[in-house]
Amino acid sequence: MSVELLAPAGDFETALAAFAAGADAVYCGLSSYSARAFAKNFSTDDLKNLVRVARAKGKQVYVTVNTVIDEDDIEGAVRELAELESIGPTALIVQDLGIARLCKTYFPDLTLHASTQLVAHNLEGVLALKELGFTRVVLARELSVEEIASIVKRSGGLEFECFIHGALCYSLSGLCLFGAMEKDRSGNRGKCPYCCRQAYEDAEGRKTLAFSMKDLRVGEDVKKLVDAGVCSLKIEGRMKSSLYVASVVKYYRQILGEKEEGQGRGERMRKVTVADLETVFSRRTTELYLNGRPGATNTTSPIDPDSLGHLGTPIGTVKRVTKDREGLSWLRFHTSRALEKHDGLQFAAKDGGKPVGLGITMMRQTISRTPVFEVSAGTDVEILLPPDFEPIQPGATVYCSMSNAVKRMFPVPSFRPSDYSGVVSVDLEVTLTKNALVAVGRCGGQEVKASVDGEFAPAKSPEKTSGGIEKAFSKLGETDYRLGKLSVNDPDRLFAPMSFLNDLRRDLVEQLDEIRDRARRAKLEKALNDDACGSLTSTKAVRRIKLRPDQKLPQGDWSEVIVAINAEMPVESVKQVGDGIPSVRLAVPVYTAEPDFNRLRNAVKRFLREGFSAWEASDLATLRMLKELGVTDLTADWTCYAFNASALKTWSELGAKRFVASPENNRENLQFLSESGYDVEFLSQQSTPLFISLTRPAAVPDEESGLSIFRRDGLWVTTKVLPRTFDVPEGCASRIDLSWSPE
């Protein structure tokens, strides 16, 4: 199978631009349940049209339903799933396991891809997702090529998708709670406030972007991912413009050695360079850990602590600013890039803030001082500065921040719905008699019959009858249908007027719509009546505590102590923690890299031999591993993200007997979880991790920030200095979680 180049589409125009530039597929979201809630996103009519375009061009469309879902939102999500199944995108990209269960149970025609929000970073997690029915996994961005190749080779034919370009999250995907905890805008719900882009003062009073990641740009190394067996190469950017998406698509299409759609002459034949990309959008770039894990000698920091946002591509250095006799100011520099009127220029701000920029309204060659529309690369040029423009010093770098030449490479694609047939194929049998015209349509196992009465005379040219019928039923216009197999029964060689055929077609389409809508509503009713709640009537108000072995157990009436371990931890360090406590449970780390997973497995075996039989999983990978080792007393920590009854049922069927509610829950959903019929316990106190990352921050914010940053189990953890307290539903089990505390 050839590798797929997958582009983001925040709206319909961007999707068309991506296809025109050479994308094999696009991913997009509807207005709800999408991890980019602030993108324009798609209406259902837009999505229908996009699927029609994609089918006609041999392209793919993936729809994101990649957020966690509260119980109150399940009904709306189910209605959206029913609508999506009727539209027929290639697959859904899903985060919430409750949504995955509903798809498999009630909407089996929807193919499932596992979102990167499910944090698949090792083989064990990938195999768990495969067992849940996912056909493709979007791997965590932090993996190296070596790790990816190992996972692909041992996964048993599962498809894999990897990010190659675009913005990076500081935190491991799915494990960022900064926005939810501090801004009431959850990244897991598509409303990320980009807290990692916030500037902080360090201990010396210097402002720094301590967590702001460079953009991912794999470039030529994309070929390494192809060699590793990755089937889909993914560009991030559903919030970006159609120009950004088209230019990045063409850049990678060139590297992959294939032509973009409809390639012609002139601007479209010109290759997109890195400098061209930088005129569209230009953060500093990194390959992250593609060629080595954090700490390796061949890796540099992927954080840019100094600049934020678009600057442009460097094209020269300011020589001087002069004034002419009319008092106009001119900026003189030697340009390494061809420029034209209305291109954009920018200059870095002196204080590291937002760049200052201008559009070229007038320019001239230095040697002639005659205004010109364009200049070639290698020209000494003067640009007219606006009045009161911020002073620019000699030696400052000039950046091109917008290029009309690049824009012309990607004309806006046109679209007419009538140019594209529907996505539902209808096999048709038409029979002509002297008194009736009858059509039987078959699609998706359903059959409908339409007829028109009339008096039909012999045809003057009977050999043209079949062609006329085919022409009439090919005009399915903006309906959901396209003509499949056609058979014509015309024993008396009759003439069928086009007006009768059009009436017959309209009647047939109405019946097809009705029978498909009836089937959709029947499925929807079953899904809406899904009862995924458990059978427990109440939960005792017991108190549990989770901590590390190096922490002192506080005095209290604890029914259970949960001890956070890692692969290196000796058994002896754990044994004394729970002295005098009725139950001791061991909790595995929230993240274990692929090369380290066997070490964790061996550590668990050691603890099992010492009699530790109660365990807590942190994700699908660790749950699967613990079950394989024979553990039956299993709980699921809050990082498993069970927000609704369908998700709780999925985790329960996988072996989890108790659940810890996420600190991200709102009050209403906490109350639902307390009444769900599952054994759920609720955090009462925790130093909630805001960021969990493989990447060391560029600086430590000062005390005024209220943040604490420390390294634990190979991860960089950011929390608040003071722990948080949470409301616990009345009469329910509670937990104090000290395991994320700075000390």
pLDDT at residue 368 in the model: 85
Neighbours of 589 (CB within 10 A): 18
620-670 per-position pLDDT tens digit: 999 999 999 999 999 999 999 999 999 999 999 999 999 999 999 999 999
Provide the CATH topology of domain 313-408.
Elongation Factor Tu (Ef-tu); domain 3 (2.40.30)
Interval 525-543 mean pLDDT: 87
> Is the fold of 4-168+214-261 the same as that of 313-408?
no
Report the greatest alpha carbon distance in the chain. Answer: 101
Q: What 8-state DSSP symbol labels residue 195? A: G
pLDDT at residue 35 in the model: 62
pLDDT at residue 449 greater than cutoff 90: yes
Interval 724-736 mean pLDDT: 96
Q: Is 596 helix (H, G, I), strand (E, B) or coil?
A: helix
Measure the CA angle with vertex 707, ends 703 and 710; round to 5°.
110
13-50 per-position pLDDT tens digit: 999 999 999 999 999 998 887 766 666 779 999 999 99
pLDDT at residue 479 greater than cutoff 90: no
555-583 per-position pLDDT tens digit: 989 999 999 999 999 998 898 887 778 89
243-259 per-position pLDDT tens digit: 999 999 999 999 998 65
Backbone phi, then psi, for 728, in 5-degree steps?
Answer: -110, 130
Domain ranges of the chain: 4-168+214-261, 313-408, 423-528, 543-687+723-737
pLDDT at residue 90 in the model: 98
pLDDT at residue 265 in the model: 47
**Between 297 and 591, residue with greater pLDDT:** 591
H helices then E strands: how many in the chain? Answer: 18, 38
Q: Is 269 helix (H, G, I), strand (E, B) or coil?
A: helix
Contact 359, 339 (CB under 8 A): no
Which of 300-304, 486-490, 597-601 shows the lowest mean pLDDT across its residues? 300-304
pLDDT at residue 447 greater than cutoff 60: yes
**260 pLDDT tier (thresholds 50, 70, 90):** low
**685 pLDDT tier (thresholds 50, 70, 90):** very high
**Separation CA 482–CA 707 (nearest Å):** 59
Pick the CATH number of 543-687+723-737 from 3.60.130.10, 3.40.50.720, 3.40.50.1820, 3.20.20.60: 3.20.20.60
* Tally of CA atoms within 13 A in the half-sphere of 376 that contains its CB: 1
378-394 per-position pLDDT tens digit: 999 999 999 989 889 99
Contact 73, 623 (CB under 8 A): no
Pairing of strands 543-547, 658-660: unpaired
pLDDT at residue 279 in the model: 98
**Separation CA 226–CA 209 (nearest Å):** 34
CATH 3.20.20.70 given to domain 4-168+214-261: yes
pTM here is 0.94
**542 pLDDT tier (thresholds 50, 70, 90):** very high
pLDDT at residue 33 in the model: 78
**Between 230 and 204, residue with greater pLDDT:** 230
**Between 307 and 7, residue with greater pLDDT:** 7
Interval 429-449 mean pLDDT: 94
299-350 per-position pLDDT tens digit: 689 999 988 889 999 999 999 999 998 999 999 999 999 999 999 999 987 7
pLDDT over 90 percentage in the chain: 83
639-652 per-position pLDDT tens digit: 999 999 999 999 99
pLDDT at residue 116 in the model: 94
**Separation CA 337–CA 275 (nearest Å):** 9
DSSP secondary structure of 702-739: -GGGTEEEEEETTEEEEEESSPEE----TT--EEEE-T
Nearest-Å Rg of the Cα atoms of the chain is 31
pLDDT at residue 539 greater than cutoff 80: no
Measure the CA angle with vertex 328, ends 322 and 329; round to 5°.
35
Q: Tokens 């049209």 map to which residue? A: 49
For residue 406, give every residue at least 6 positions away whose Cβ sits within 8 Å of its Cβ, in sequence order, or none: 243, 247, 272, 276, 279, 280
pLDDT over 70 percentage in the chain: 96
- Residue type (1 letter), 371: P
204-214 per-position pLDDT tens digit: 888 899 999 99
pLDDT at residue 614 in the model: 97
- Residue type (1 letter), 127: L
**296 pLDDT tier (thresholds 50, 70, 90):** low
